[in-house]
């Protein structure tokens, strides 16, 4: 059973770069057909898809964040990573990683990591 | 971007009640609609995909319907573990977008 686990600093200073890693276990990150997504949830708010990558480094980003984000993959370590630069307090959120799984009728986010809270503050 | 609008935003109900949550897309998304359940402090959990298909392990009291722009999630007889927040999400086009959530609370 595939499991995902986020890791990274819980506190980032304004204007700096937020960096998170998601480690995939129980299955291959290199298996074709899957995309590996980052999703965030600001305090008391809904869910926002940030972007995704596949094993061959094909990416797609949310236009609302595109100018500030970069997602990369390290297949040898079974990890994918998020960098969000020039952060402000508005980037304070729980960040989730999830597998974007194709299904009959689109795709789904399943499974998810447990999430990690990142606070932007000086 | 496709906007997803859920109603109601919150709902109070009792164990055993039948409840329905509505999700409307700003344009047609065929049946490319998923539902998630999120309990406090936890990651969302996939309930239903492609509008009406159960994810493995989801109780049969949950059901989903709809196509095009209008979708519903119904819980036939609420159980204590069903009190949570529910989100719809479209996978018809990028960026993937979610509804704002419906918080289901105990009356």
Closest CA to A48 of B87, B10, B26, B40: B87
Per-residue pLDDT of chain B (107 residues; tens, 9 = 90+): 999 999 999 999 999 999 999 999 999 999 999 999 999 999 999 999 999 999 999 999 999 999 999 999 999 999 999 999 999 999 999 999 999 999 999 88
Specify the pLDDT at position A31: 83
Minimum mean pLDDT among A30-34, A56-60, B30-34, B48-52: which range? A30-34
Q: CA A69, CA A82: separation in Å to the nearest integer?
A: 7
Contact pairs from chain A to chain B, CB under 8 Å: 68
Helix H segments across B10-99?
Answer: none
Q: Which of A48, A98, A108 sits opposite B91 (nearest CB)?
A: A108
Of A33, A40, A15, which Cα lies nearest the Cα of A108?
A33
A98 strand-pairing partners: A37, A112
Tokens linked to A65: 């964040």
In chain A, which residues have their Cβ closer than 8 Å to the Cβ of B39? none
**Residue A12 pLDDT class (50, 70, 90 cuts):** very high
Give Cβ neighbours of residue A89 (< 8 Å, ≥ 6 apart): A14, A120, A121
Contact B45 A112 (CB under 8 A): yes
Q: How confident is the model at residue A18 (pLDDT cuts 50, 70, 90)?
A: very high
């Amino acid at each position: 059973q595939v499991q995902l686990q986020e890791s990274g600093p819980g506190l980032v200073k304004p204007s700096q770069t937020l960096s998170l890693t998601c480690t995939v276990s129980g299955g291959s990150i290199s298996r074709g057909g899957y995309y590996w997504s980052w999703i965030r949830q600001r305090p008391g708010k809904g869910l926002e898809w940030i972007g995704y990558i596949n094993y061959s480094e094909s990416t797609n980003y949310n236009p609302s964040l595109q100018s500030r984000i970069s997602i990369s993959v390290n297949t040898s370590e079974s990890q994918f990573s998020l960098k969000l630069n020039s952060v402000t307090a508005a980037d304070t959120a729980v960040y989730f990683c999830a597998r974007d799984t194709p299904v009959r009728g689109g795709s789904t986010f399943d499974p998810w990591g447990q999430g990690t809270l990142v606070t932007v503050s000086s | 971007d496709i906007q997803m609008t859920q109603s109601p935003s919150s709902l109070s109900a009792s164990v055993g009640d039948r409840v329905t949550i509505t999700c409307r897309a700003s344009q047609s998304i065929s049946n490319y609609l998923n539902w998630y359940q999120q309990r406090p402090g936890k990651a969302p959990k996939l309930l239903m995909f492609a509008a009406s298909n159960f994810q493995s392990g989801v109780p049969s009291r949950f059901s989903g319907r709809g196509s095009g722009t209008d979708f519903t999630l119904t819980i036939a007889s609420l159980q204590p573990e069903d009190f949570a927040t529910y989100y719809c999400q479209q996978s018809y086009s990028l960026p993937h977008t979610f509804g704002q959530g419906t918080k289901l609370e105990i009356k």
